């Protein structure tokens, strides 16, 4: 049933009926939204809310990832620092070992007493300098050592073909006593 039929039961005058229906239509139309427009707006609202929730979830995920990236960057920086420290320490150790090895070879080749070599290496490795695995100015270093510890070098027999070799150099009782005095040993 339409509005006109309902009102027609109570209003006998057609002209009055048309006026009432006209006024009602105008007044009611102002406050009402057509159903199809309401459905359209309602769907847009649902879509917008869904997108808002998706964006909120995505933003939370990105925030967590950003925090993770910062943590990873911090951890990476720490590891790089640690790696640099380890490399520096390893290079120092390699340099120290190289110095001692080169100094030991130098002392062996120049007839240092076999029992004194380690002591000499320990004492003089701090002043020895190495570049590319070789001693810098080995002759000056040897001269310094010989000046300070001349008694620790063994004189070899000149008739030997192996100059500088310990094979022909013999340790005597006098050498041992001299070494003990030099190092304050009993």
pTM of the model: 0.48
Cα 162 → chain centroid: 54
Tokens 């102002």 belong to 30
Select from 118, 127, 116, 107 the least CA-distant residue to 152.
Answer: 116
Would you say 144 and 123 are in contact if contact means Cβ atoms under 8 Å apart? no
* C-alpha distance from residue 45 to each of 34, 35, 118 (Å): 17, 15, 88
**24 contacts: CB under 8 Å, gap ≥ 6:** 3
How many whole angstroms separate alpha carbon 8 and alpha carbon 14?
8
Select from 125, 104, 130 the least CA-distant residue to 116.
Answer: 104
Main-chain dihedrals φ then ψ at residue 131, nearest 5 degrees: -135, 130
How many whole angstroms separate alpha carbon 103 and alpha carbon 112?
11
What pLDDT tens digit does each residue of the chain (186 aa) get? 677 788 788 888 888 888 887 877 776 666 667 788 788 888 999 999 999 999 999 888 888 888 888 888 888 899 999 999 999 999 888 888 888 888 888 888 888 888 888 888 888 888 888 888 788 888 898 888 888 887 888 876 654 444 444 444 455 667 677 777 777 776
């Amino acid at each position: 049933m339409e509005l006109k039929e309902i009102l027609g039961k109570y209003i006998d005058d057609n002209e009055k009926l048309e006026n009432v229906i006209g006024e009602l239509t105008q007044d009611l139309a102002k406050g009402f939204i057509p159903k199809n427009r309401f459905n359209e707006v309602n769907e847009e609202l649902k879509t917008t809310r869904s997108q808002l929730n998706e964006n909120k979830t995505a933003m939370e995920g990105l925030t967590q990832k950003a925090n993770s990236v910062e943590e990873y960057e911090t951890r990476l920086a720490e590891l790089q620092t640690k790696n640099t420290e380890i490399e520096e320490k390893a290079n120092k150790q390699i340099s120290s070992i190289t110095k001692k090895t080169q100094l030991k070879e130098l002392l062996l080749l120049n007839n240092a007493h076999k029992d004194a070599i380690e002591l000499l290496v320990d004492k003089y490795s701090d002043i020895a300098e190495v570049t590319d695995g070789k001693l810098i100015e080995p002759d000056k270093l040897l001269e310094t050592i010989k000046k300070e510890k001349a008694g620790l070098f063994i004189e070899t027999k000149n008739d030997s073909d192996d100059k500088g070799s310990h094979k022909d150099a013999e340790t005597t009782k006098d050498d041992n006593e001299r070494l003990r005095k030099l190092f304050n040993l009993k």
